[in-house]
Amino acid sequence: MTDTADNRLLAGKTALVTGASKGIGAATAKALAAAGAHVVLTARTGAALEATEQAIFDAGGSATIAPVDLAEPEGIARLATAIGQRWQALDVLVINAAMLPALTPAWQIDSKDLNKAFTLNVLATQALIAGFDGMLKRSAAGKLIGVTSSVGAAPRAYWGAYGATKAAFDNLLDAYAQETRDISNLRVAIVDPGATRTAMRAKAYPGEDPASVKPPEVVGEAIVELCGKQFASPHRLRVNAS
C-alpha cells in the first residue's frame, strides 16, 4: 500500500504573503509553497504576481493571487473578507510589503513621501493585524512574521524617514505579540533580513555589486524554518549570509 501522506513542514497550512511579486516576498512565497502551504500572494499588480504564482505551480505548489493596494483604506478589509470566506484559519501571515522613502537629512524629509511610507509600512500593518487577528488565533499554531530593517532599532544618518516607519512597525508587532501570547497559540516574530539582493537594496545602494549580498531565497528559507518552530513571542531573528 502506498503512503500518500504529505510530510512537508507546512502541508495543509494556509499562508498569506504581502509584497509577494518580487524580492523577499516572492522568495518567501515560493519557499512556503515548497514546504506544502497554500500561499495567497498579494501585491498591487496582478501581472507581477502571476510570475510568482506560475513559479509555484511549476514547482508543484499551490497558490492564489489577490492583487490589493495595501495603502487603500478598504483594500485590506476586502482581502480579509475574501480569505475568511474561503478558509477558517490563517496559519502564516508574512508582512513584507514596504516602501523606502528618499534617503535624505531629517530636516529635508518630504512630508508627502513620509506619509506614503507610514501608510504602507505602519498603517497597513495595523490594518492587517486587525483584519486577520481572528483567523490567526483560530490556527492551531499561527505565526505572524514581520520583515523589518536594522534602522528601526539603530538610527542611521539619512535613513530617518524609513527608520521611523520601521521603529513603529516593530513596536506594533511587539505589542501585539505581548497581547496575544498568553491567550492564544499565535506567535509573532520580527525578522531583520540584513543585506539582501532586492530592488529596494539596489535603490539605496546604487553602486553596490548585487552579487556581494545574499539572494532573497536565503531569507525565504529562514522564514519557512521559523514557521515550523515553537518560539517565545515576540521572537527576533537576524538573517545572515549562509
User: pLDDT (tens digit, 0 to 9) for every residue of the chain, 242 residues total?
Assistant: 445 678 799 999 999 999 999 999 999 999 999 999 999 999 998 888 999 999 999 999 999 999 999 999 899 999 999 999 999 999 999 999 999 999 999 999 999 999 999 999 999 999 999 999 999 999 999 999 999 999 999 999 999 999 999 999 999 999 999 999 999 999 999 999 999 999 999 999 999 999 999 999 999 999 999 999 999 999 999 999 86
8 domain-assigned: no
49, 18 Cβ separation under 8 angstroms: no
67 domain-assigned: yes
5 domain-assigned: no
CA separation, residue 213 to residues 90, 98, 166, 238, 242 (Å):
32, 20, 21, 15, 10
Cell of 32: 512556503
CA distance 126 to 12: 27
Residue 93: DSSP 8-state: E
- Look up cell 552579487; give the residue: 211
pLDDT score of 7: 79
pLDDT score of 55: 97
> How many structural domains does the chain have?
1
3 domain-assigned: no
111, 59 Cβ separation under 8 angstroms: no
Residue 190: DSSP 8-state: E
9 domain-assigned: no
7 domain-assigned: no
Sheet of strand 14-18, all strands in order from the earlier edge strand to the far edge: 62-65, 38-42, 14-18, 92-95, 143-147, 187-192, 235-238
Q: Which of 158, 162, 176, 205 is catalytic?
A: 162
pLDDT score of 146: 98
2 domain-assigned: no
Q: Residue 76's domain spans which residues?
A: 14-238
- CATH label of the domain that carries residue 118: 3.40.50.720
pLDDT score of 75: 95
User: Does the annotation mark 162 as catalytic?
Assistant: yes
pLDDT score of 241: 81
Cell of 211: 552579487
112 domain-assigned: yes
